[in-house]
């Protein structure tokens, strides 16, 4: 059996080598914890551990969207203020000194999450809060919290349904906002969350089947609560011990094979059918395709002379610079000649930075407020009229 598997793997590798794999050009990660309050410490620790891992593998902060609904490090019940640990040995402080939380506290809502995925955000929303992925981006979406059959609770107040999530991914695919997407979820009945997905190029994995709970791994007696969930713990164990650098060749198949139900205490699930080529093809994607940042740096050869090379370009740019300098001189000479006719917009070589129009106070109210009032008055009037007419008619009939 093992031999057969080896053979299959070798065969698959051969396939990989022969086929040209469509490359992705950037990596994005969306890491979401959805629960508040101190006793949900482990959910934040899950997300922060994963945050640390993707950062270690090279995804820059600008390409990680971190959503934390609570601040465990500054919770008054935290015996180790300013820190978050995901292990009772407290070896690694996940909070560290360089952490960029993009959505925090009550900003973590279903609406904001869907807006983030579909990029239906106000123009004023800064880039750090946007998912700027494109058709060449591999996106990792990790969610954790309390969930149930086809929903995941956000902040004790609302929930996201599997349908909404599927539609959000559907819209992302429509607008070419990902190349391939890895969806991971650690919650009770997690596998129900990806049942409704319909857009292609998604690999989804969850921690537990329907009607199964997802358990925490262990508690830290000094912190006083459980510090990490089981499934996340073992995923992280794989990532931390096996995927040691961006150059790691381990693939998703290895990651999913490392699931051990006797350790996780629930049945993790994987969904391959949306991926072109199904499981066979999907297993070959390397782990760092999603958790790392793959960059194909192009070193420029200073001595090459083919068209478009550095040297050629430099010569051309130098000529351009010279030309503009000449033009600048002509322009200033012309200015000196005819100082009266300055209004004509001639091109100076200085940078055309847009003059910012002065921002003054503006009225924020909707323009149709009078219309609304009119509607209100007429509704009230109509109701009164009906009431008067009704009572009048009623008296006459009795």
Rg, C-alpha atoms of the chain: 29
Among the options 24, 179, 188, 217, which is catalytic? 188
Could you give the 3-state DSSP secondary structure of residue 91?
A: coil
Member of 19, 315, 342, 374 binding another protein (CB under 8 A): 315
Which is closer to another protein, CB of 1 or CB of 297? 297
**What is the smallest separation between the CB atom of 138 and another protein, expressed in angstroms?**
13
Cα separation, 130 vs 106, whole angstroms? 17
Regarding 110 and contact with another protein (CB under 8 A), the answer is yes
Could you tell me which stretch among 34-42, 112-120, 257-265, 335-343 binds another protein (CB under 8 A)? 112-120
Q: Which of 6, 120, 263, 372 binds another protein (CB under 8 A)?
A: 120
Q: Is residue 190 at the binding interface for another protein, with CB under 8 A as the rule? A: no
Q: Across the strands, what pairs with 151? A: 148, 161
CA–CA separation, 66 vs 100, rounded Å? 7
Q: Does 36 bind another protein (CB under 8 A)?
A: no
Among 171, 258, 267, 280, binds another protein (CB under 8 A): 171
Tokens of 210: 């329907």
With CB under 8 A as the contact rule, the residue among 303, 343, 357, 396 that binds another protein is: 303
Residues in 241-270 at the binding interface with another protein, rule: CB under 8 A: 245-247
Identify which of 103, 104, 133, 98 has the alpha carbon closest to the alpha carbon of residue 118. 133
Q: Does residue 21 touch another protein according to CB under 8 A?
A: no
Q: Which of 16, 37, 38, 61 binds another protein (CB under 8 A)?
A: 61
Cα 214 to chain centroid, rounded = 23
Q: Is 265 a catalytic residue?
A: no
Question: How far is residue 58's CA from residue 295's CA, in Å, rounded to a whole number?
Answer: 10
Report the alpha-carbon distance of residue 137 to residue 133 in Å, rounded.
5
Is 24 annotated as catalytic?
no
**Position 367 contacts another protein (CB under 8 A):** no
Angstrom distance (rounded) from CA 366 to CA 10: 65
Options 320, 375, 377, 380; binder of another protein; rule CB under 8 A: 320
Number of C-beta neighbours around residue 173 at 10 A: 19
Rounded-to-integer distance, Cα 18 and Cα 322, Å: 49
CB of 20 to another protein, least distance (A): 9
Largest CA distance in the chain: 107
Dig out the tokens for 75 from the structure.
Answer: 């919770």
Residue 397 lies near another protein (rule: CB under 8 A): yes
Report in angstroms how near the CB of residue 46 gets to another protein at its nearest: 20
| Binding to another protein in span 191-230, by CB under 8 A | none
Q: Do residues 251 and 286 make contact, with C-beta atoms less than 8 angstroms apart?
A: yes
Residue 26 in contact with another protein, rule: CB under 8 A: yes
d(CA 243, CA 241): 6
| Interface stretch with another protein, choices 8-16, 56-64, 65-73, 212-220 (CB under 8 A) | 56-64
Of 10 and 315, which CB lies nearer to another protein in the complex structure? 315
* Positions marked catalytic: 146, 188
């Amino acid at each position: 059996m093992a031999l057969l598997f080896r053979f299959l793997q070798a065969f698959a590798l051969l396939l990989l080598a022969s086929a040209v794999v469509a490359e992705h050009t950037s990596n994005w990660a969306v890491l979401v914890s959805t629960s508040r309050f101190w006793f949900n410490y482990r959910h934040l620790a899950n997300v922060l551990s994963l945050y640390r891992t993707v950062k270690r593998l090279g995804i820059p902060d600008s390409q990680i969207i971190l959503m934390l609904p609570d601040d465990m490090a500054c919770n008054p019940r935290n015996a180790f203020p300013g820190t978050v640990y995901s292990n009772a040995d407290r070896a690694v402080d996940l909070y560290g000194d360089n952490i960029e939380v993009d959505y925090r506290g009550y900003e973590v809502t279903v609406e904001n999450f869907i807006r983030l995925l579909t990029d239906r955000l106000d123009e004023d929303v800064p880039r750090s809060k946007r998912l700027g992925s494109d058709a060449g981006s591999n996106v990792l979406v990790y969610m954790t919290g309390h969930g149930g059959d086809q929903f995941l609770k956000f902040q004790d107040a609302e929930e996201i349904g599997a349908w909404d999530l599927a539609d959000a991914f559907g819209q992302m695919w429509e607008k070419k906002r990902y190349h391939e997407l890895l969806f991971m979820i650690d919650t009770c009945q997690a596998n129900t969350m990806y049942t409704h997905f319909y857009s292609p190029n998604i690999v989804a994995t969850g921690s537990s089947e329907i009607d199964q709970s997802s358990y925490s791994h262990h508690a830290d007696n000094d912190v006083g609560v459980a510090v990490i969930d089981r499934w996340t713990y073992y995923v992280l164990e794989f990532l931390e011990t096996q995927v040691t650098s961006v150059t790691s060749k381990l693939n998703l198949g290895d990651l999913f094979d490392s699931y051990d139900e006797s350790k996780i205490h629930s049945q993790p699930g994987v969904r391959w059918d949306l991926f072109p080529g199904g499981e066979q093809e999907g297993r070959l994607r390397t782990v760092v395709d999603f958790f790392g940042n793959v960059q194909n740096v192009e070193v420029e050869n200073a001595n090459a002379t083919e068209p478009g090379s550095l040297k050629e370009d430099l010569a051309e740019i130098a000529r351009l610079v010279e030309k503009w300098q000449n033009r600048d001189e002509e322009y200033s000479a012309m200015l000196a000649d005819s100082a009266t006719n300055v209004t004509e917009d001639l091109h100076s070589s200085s940078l055309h930075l847009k003059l910012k129009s002065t921002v003054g106070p503006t009225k924020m109210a909707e323009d149709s407020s009078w219309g609304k009032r009119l509607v209100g008055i007429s509704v009230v009037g109509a109701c009164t009229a009906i009431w008067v007419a009704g009572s009048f008619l009623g008296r006459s009939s009795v």
